[in-house]
């Protein structure tokens, strides 16, 4: 049996742009993708903390160190510049793999610079 588990997460990133005319996806600073273990073209789930929207798209690499988090195409209608989002990838793991699995939880500041990287989320914690 396989289970779907959190693979990587960029927690509380600030949307820097929303481009309705781009051909879809989310552009994310390559440094953030690397830190979270999220690949280019990987499917991700996105949660908008400002309006509750939840949606899926795929990643494209943004300039390293830029802090860019840009929702493109139709997804641009679900966010506004300045919104806070959570970007998550998931992995399929077998029961034996689950015990050794540690997701990468990337905490960022208001400029999308890495503050910390965790392998867990403490319960009842506001990050």
DSSP code per residue over 70-117: EEEGGGGGG--TT-EEEEEEEEEEEHHHHTT---EEEEE-TTS-EEEE
Q: How many CA atoms lie within 13 A of 62 on its CB side?
A: 23
Annotated binding residue 18? no
Annotated binding residue 99? no
Annotated binding residue 57? yes
Token pair for residue 21? 């005319």
Catalytic residues, which ones?
25, 58
Annotated binding residue 45? no
Annotated binding site: 57, 73-75
Annotated binding site for substrate: 57, 73-75
């Amino acid at each position: 049996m396989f289970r779907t588990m959190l693979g990587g997460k960029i927690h509380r990133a600030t949307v820097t742009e929303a481009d309705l005319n781009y051909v879809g996806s989310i552009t994310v600073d390559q440094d953030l993708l690397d830190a979270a273990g999220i690949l280019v073209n990987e499917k991700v789930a996105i949660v908008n903390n400002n309006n509750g929207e939840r949606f899926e798209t795929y990643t494209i690499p943004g300039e390293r160190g830029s802090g860019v988090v840009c929702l493109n195409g139709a997804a641009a209608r679900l966010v506004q510049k300045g919104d806070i989002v959570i970007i998550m990838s998931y992995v399929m793991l077998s029961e034996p793999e689950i015990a050794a699995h540690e997701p990468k939880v990337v905490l960022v500041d208001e400029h999308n610079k890495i503050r910390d990287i965790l392998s867990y989320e403490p319960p009842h914690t506001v990050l």
